[in-house]
A and B are shown apart, each in its own frame.
Chain A
Amino acid sequence: MIDIPPYPPLDPSNYDLIIVGTGVSESVLAAAASSSGSSVLHLDPNPFYGSHFASLSLPDLTSFLHSNSFSSPPPPSSPPLPPSNNHDFISVDLVNRSLYSSVEISSFESEILEEHSRRFNVDLCGPRVVFCADESINLMLKSGANNYVEFKSIDASFVGDSSGELRNVPDSRAAIFKDKSLTLLEKNQLMKFFKLVQSHLASSTENDDTTTVKISEEDMESPFVDFLTKMRLPPKIKSIILYAIAMLDYDQDNMETCRHLLKTKEGIDRMALYIISMGRFSNALGALIYPIYGQGELPQAFCRRAAVKGCIYVLRMPITALLLDKETGGYKGVRLASGQEIFSQKLILDPCVTVGLESLSSLTDQQNETLSVLVPKALINKEKVSRGICVIRGSVKADVSNALIVYPPKSLFPEQLTAIRVMQLGSGLAVCPADMHVLYLSTLCDNDDQGIKSLLSAMSNLIRLPDPENHQSDSVVENDTCEAKPILLWRALYVQELVKGEYGGTISSMPSPDGNLNYNEIVESALKLYEQLMGSEELFKEETSVENTTEENDGGVDIED
């Protein structure tokens, strides 16, 4: 932000839409708006695409987290300029909001990491995967963004507990058959439940068929956990379905701490997503896929699509101020860090962009109204997500490189209120050097300490934390005493705030990465905002027709074997 290279002035200086930030939702909007014919200027203050969804090298990730966290000194903002009066506008200075707190980054084998530092593509928003049947995949196919990304299958998913044992998630007929930890009766019950769900889904698509079993309306409205109990599923299976298939966060059995009690209807939808994902693409092994070179590829793919449709991109270009109409108080444009003033009908901003409270006092009511979405709200819901990234040598499970691991609530320690999700990714996905793996961890939390504690507990369950005193000492001695857990080389821990997106007429704000495993809620909010901005205009209308005639293969998404 400090040394901005001199930019030639942008031309034209008037757009339908200015978007700041290149996160997933901003990029989807840029692609959608450009392809519907709007003129779009897409800016990002960072030198890379993806904003909070980017995949970065270890040094870049470190500096990004530090510069966007509370603990770091606020970026030196230029002294507030007096509102310039030479125009019909008044300008309001913008302030950067920090999303991250409790950032702690430690390196245990600096030499090795430095040697390879540029071979890492580490996600800021991990652990995150894509379900084959996700809305984000549909959107990629619709927009044509799928041409810019390749995926690979996640090989396996596991459920873990404090014993350190990882059990396969029996998520299909074949997996139940193979499973070694379920009893015969449990296999029977679980498969029966899958069949019930499948039969219910079939009955809702072909509604004439009376032979299929349907779940009653009353059950659909009841809590999913109660429905599972009603189906006489034992706790072990309930926990697998709730946390490792429906991917829930909160302990559904604990009414006091559960922030989100899932209804059966939603539970069935989540299972349907999983089941449909399993069979969608012929070379995907399971339900989950991951983009090669990291999650940052996804927003980038949408940006490339937008660029093809005429969207103009400028990176390393923060905006410093908003320009409002003096008379009406309405939005007019932005001032770039380069000093240039650019005008647009509408503005969409990254969740980090806010206005300082001190600058609001001098504004009129109308002006305040225009800026309402940028005023940081006093958060009622203090929900946050704590994230961890570990670079390890070895794998948490022999013969498995890319895997998802879920620790259901209370599985690691009695006070564990939320599920902890861990994802291991290997060099096959071009995210790290060979023989290493990147481990992502996340869990929802109310405060930083609680979140970090959960992550550390999951880490110590999976990997060998180096001795803080002499972590450089030879590891041969340790190998004899403890089992072959992988060794930690590098670690980042941070807590991210959850900011919701907001539509505000001319100025709208986008959400931060959420605590979910996939992009469904983010994509959903982007689609909703698109509808609000553009009316009911159909998304990626043009591409849909082209795609359908040219598309030969049934999948359309590249998944490497």
Chain B
Amino acid sequence: MHGRERNEASKPEETAAKALELRSLQSQFMSNHHQKIYTQEAIQLSAKLLGINPEAYTAWNYRKLALESRIDEDSDPSLVDSIIDEELRVVQNALKRNPKSYGAWYHRKWVLSKKGHYYSSLEKELQLLNDYQKQCLVNDYQKQDDPKKQDNARNFHAWNYRRFVVELTETSEEDELQYTNMINDICFSIYSAWHYRSVLVSSLVAKNADGFMPKETIRRELDYVHNAIFTDELGQSGWFYYLWLLDQTLKMETPLRFSSWPSDGSIITTFCSESGSFPLILYFDQAVSGVSSSTVTIDSELKANEDLVWEPVSDNKNSQVDSCVWVAHLKFDSRGPCFSRKENKVKVSLGGIVSSMGCNLSTPYEFVFTVLHTVGESSQQGIVSWTDGFNNWDDAQSKDLNSFIALNADAGFEWRKEAIKIEIDHLRNLPDSKFGKLILARLLMAEETMISDDAVKGFHYTEILQLYNDLIALDSWHAQYYKDEHSVALLHKVTSSTESMFRHLFRYRNMNNIVCLRLNNLTLSRIAAVEKLLFVQMLDLSNNELHSAEGLEAMQLLCCLNLSHNRIMSFSALDSLRHLKQLRVLDVSHNLIGGEHPVDTTRYLCSSPLSNSGEVGREVPCKYWDAYLVLRDLMKLKQLDIRGNDLIFSGEEFSSFVRQVVPKLVWLDGHKLTN
């Protein structure tokens, strides 16, 4: 239907004769138009022109002017009828020439919207349109082998116009839903029909129409669309509607879930001698706004924390922005009177947060953690090595682990679970379909997040990983996407249980025994499951296939990060690291930075000197602009490894640039910088 030539090329001599005729018609018409001649003859001339060339916009406008001049309030109703009839006929002729003529469809709409209330056969218009759409479908089916002869039943102009007529004639949405049934019975591959159906169903559900209770309607529609996707699993229009329905299913009464650092019941240790602060991180599974001291209240003996400033981890620091990650810095002062106890409980209460999907956190939620103060800091000065200095993790501190907590799960949860389960069972029966496999994998992921029983949690991951492996083999065009999804599933699998997580957790001796997570050599291409990793301070992602650092911005405690031996193509792919204010050690050696594209085109949103992300007024150095945009925010960075990338990131020029941008840097590519 798309990318098809509109007309067949005809013989040159014919074309020339036609062009001549058209030109003379056009000049006659233009002179009529300029002289405002609206005689019967002149109007017929414009009709002739439009019959040949429906794209003659001036002619449509001329007819509008002519219509205005011929009809007024006092016109005889039968005259009005005949004039409107004539206009509709002209449009019909033009549509025969080009069923997708904007001008023609618009003219019809204009005539009926302006003069429709005078027109006696208005109610016939819908029937006429029904017949037209049906006829197009039947003809298309007959001529399916010859696309050029088809009438283009997939005509969004007609569907658009339909909505207009439906409104004008006050046709009920139930009747229109029946109409989409009829269309689907003839051919169930009309995107517009499925889309129209989704609009009608949403509207009927929103209105609480009789027989359109949300859950029953979704179930009924799912059962209906199964017929389309099972009959022809390659027909995409049915799958689109199916995806839309699944989205409605998942959205319905979705609880808002969050995780935090420090987590509930945990004990954290501060090392500052006198005063300082530590971050409080809230991670939501949907973007939320309005996190502020009025929606999150802190109750603790630590002073001066009543009016905390909450900031979203995003480029826009406005509290009305939607973000998944929010950070506030809790201050403490060791000289204060309560400090003698060295142990302070902090109670955090949340309430009144609204997600961008409209999910309201109505029931308040509270959690408590303990702050333990130790005097004296053994500041680490030497170079951080990724090869030794690690102790195994001891189980005792497992309280630090994060997990999602559903904030407002209620009865609707069970229904969703049931609905998803039914869909999973259906799709497992659909063999060798790439859409089926992909959606099955997504549904299994969705079901996995709904499981609260630890005994069966994590059960689906093996199946999900296998599905993505199948998809990579089945559909190599989209292999990278499947690979990314495979990584997401793998990370969820790794973090799904304490046991599997322990295999990757260590403590780094040389830096206050900080928590180190090693996820190297896992062929990861995308980062996920960060909600469970908020406590991690040292992260080893080396020897994977990552092409972006996106997602890491939530890990606000990160001070050491190893991204060496990955597939990062540019500094802009490291953009999210800008939010990691604690970062001291960064290893991006042996990537592809500076290779082919300085701008990372693989990311969903990319920054470049052209993207206006609050850089106004700051001069960006030319050669290393991409490195500059990332590094200039890493104020605490002491150690940077960038070996094994493009040559422009080595040598004296680069090193002096880095020293300028990151004054605290001590180690570059394993060498100590001399002053």
A and B pair up: yes
Q: Top 3 A-B pairs ranked by shortest CB distance?
A: A184-B230, A188-B230, A176-B231
B31 proximal to A (CB < 8 A): no
A279 near B141 (CB under 8 angstroms)?
Answer: yes
B233 near A178 (CB under 8 angstroms)?
Answer: no
B185 near A177 (CB under 8 angstroms)?
Answer: yes
Question: Which residues of A165-217 have CB atoms within 8 Å of chain B's CB atoms?
Answer: 173-174, 176-179, 184-185, 187-188, 191
B232 near A178 (CB under 8 angstroms)?
Answer: no
Docked complex Cα distance between A187 and B430 (Å)? 11
Could you list which residues of chain B lie within 8 angstroms of chain A, going by C-beta atoms?
138-139, 141-142, 144-145, 184-188, 226-228, 230-233, 426, 429-430
Question: In the assembled complex, how far is the CB of residue B142 from the closest CB belonging to chain A, in whole angstroms?
Answer: 5
Q: Please pick, from B138, B188, B430, the residue contacting A177 in the complex, using a CB distance under 8 A.
A: B188
**Chain B residues, Cβ within 8 Å of A281:** 142
A178 near B185 (CB under 8 angstroms)?
Answer: yes
**Chain A residues, Cβ within 8 Å of B429:** 184-185
B138 near A191 (CB under 8 angstroms)?
Answer: no
B230 near A187 (CB under 8 angstroms)?
Answer: yes
Question: In the assembled complex, how far is the CB of residue A188 from the closest CB belonging to chain B, in whole angstroms?
Answer: 5
A185 near B230 (CB under 8 angstroms)?
Answer: yes
Question: In the assembled complex, how far is the CB of residue A524 from the closest CB belonging to chain B, in whole angstroms?
Answer: 26
**Chain B residues, Cβ within 8 Å of A282:** 138-139, 142
B226, B228, B232, B233 — which one has the most chain A CB atoms within 10 A of its CB?
Answer: B232
Docked complex Cα distance between A188 and B184 (Å)? 17
Given known contacts A174-B186, A174-B188, A282-B139, A187 and B144 CB-to-CB distance under 8 angstroms: no
Question: In the assembled complex, how far is the CB of residue B200 from the closest CB belonging to chain A, in whole angstroms?
Answer: 19
Q: What are 24 residue pairs bridging A and B, where the CB atoms are less than 8 Å apart in the complex?
A: A173-B188, A173-B231, A174-B187, A174-B188, A176-B231, A177-B184, A177-B185, A177-B227, A177-B231, A184-B226, A184-B227, A184-B429, A185-B230, A187-B230, A188-B230, A188-B233, A191-B231, A191-B232, A279-B141, A279-B145, A281-B142, A282-B138, A282-B139, A282-B142
Question: In the assembled complex, how far is the CB of residue B432 from the closest CB belonging to chain A, in whole angstroms?
Answer: 9
Question: Which residues of A463-498 have CB atoms within 8 Å of chain B's CB atoms?
Answer: none
Given known contacts A177-B188, A191-B232, A184 and B139 CB-to-CB distance under 8 angstroms: no
**Chain A residues, Cβ within 8 Å of B185:** 174, 177-178
Residue of B nearest to A179 (CB): B227
Q: Please pick, from B139, B142, B188, B430, the residue contacting A188 in the complex, using a CB distance under 8 A.
A: B430
**Chain A residues, Cβ within 8 Å of B141:** 279
**Chain A residues, Cβ within 8 Å of B184:** 177
A279 near B230 (CB under 8 angstroms)?
Answer: no
Summed over the interface, the residue pairs from A and B with CB atoms below 8 Å come to a total of 45
Docked complex Cα distance between A174 and B182 (Å)? 11
A176, A188, A191 — which one has the most chain B CB atoms within 10 A of its CB?
Answer: A188
Question: In the assembled complex, how far is the CB of residue A287 from the closest CB belonging to chain B, in whole angstroms?
Answer: 13
**Chain A residues, Cβ within 8 Å of B138:** 282
Docked complex Cα distance between A191 and B230 (Å)? 9
Docked complex Cα distance between A173 and B430 (Å)? 17
Docked complex Cα distance between A281 and B142 (Å)? 7
Docked complex Cα distance between A446 and B145 (Å)? 44
**Chain A residues, Cβ within 8 Å of B142:** 279, 281-282
Docked complex Cα distance between A279 and B140 (Å)? 10
Question: In the assembled complex, how far is the CB of residue A61 from the closest CB belonging to chain B, in whole angstroms?
Answer: 37
Docked complex Cα distance between A279 and B228 (Å)? 21
Given known contacts A185-B429, A282-B142, A173 and B230 CB-to-CB distance under 8 angstroms: no
**Chain A residues, Cβ within 8 Å of B231:** 173, 176-177, 187-188, 191
For the complex with contacts A174-B185, A178-B185, 17 further pairs of A-B residues with Cβ separation under 8 Å are A173-B187, A173-B188, A173-B232, A176-B231, A177-B231, A177-B232, A179-B227, A184-B226, A184-B426, A187-B227, A187-B230, A188-B231, A188-B430, A279-B141, A279-B144, A282-B138, A282-B142
Docked complex Cα distance between A43 and B233 (Å)? 58
Residue of A nearest to B188 (CB): A177
Question: In the assembled complex, how far is the CB of residue B224 from the closest CB belonging to chain A, in whole angstroms?
Answer: 10
Docked complex Cα distance between A179 and B230 (Å)? 12
B138, B145, B230, B430 — which one has the most chain A CB atoms within 10 A of its CB?
Answer: B230
**Chain A residues, Cβ within 8 Å of B228:** 177
Question: In the assembled complex, how far is the CB of residue B194 from the closest CB belonging to chain A, in whole angstroms?
Answer: 13
Question: Which residues of A397-432 have CB atoms within 8 Å of chain B's CB atoms?
Answer: none
Docked complex Cα distance between A174 and B137 (Å)? 12
**Chain B residues, Cβ within 8 Å of A191:** 231-232
**Chain B residues, Cβ within 8 Å of A188:** 230-231, 233, 430
Docked complex Cα distance between A187 and B187 (Å)? 15
Docked complex Cα distance between A484 and B139 (Å)? 37
Docked complex Cα distance between A185 and B230 (Å)? 7
Question: Which residues of A257-294 have CB atoms within 8 Å of chain B's CB atoms?
Answer: 279, 281-282
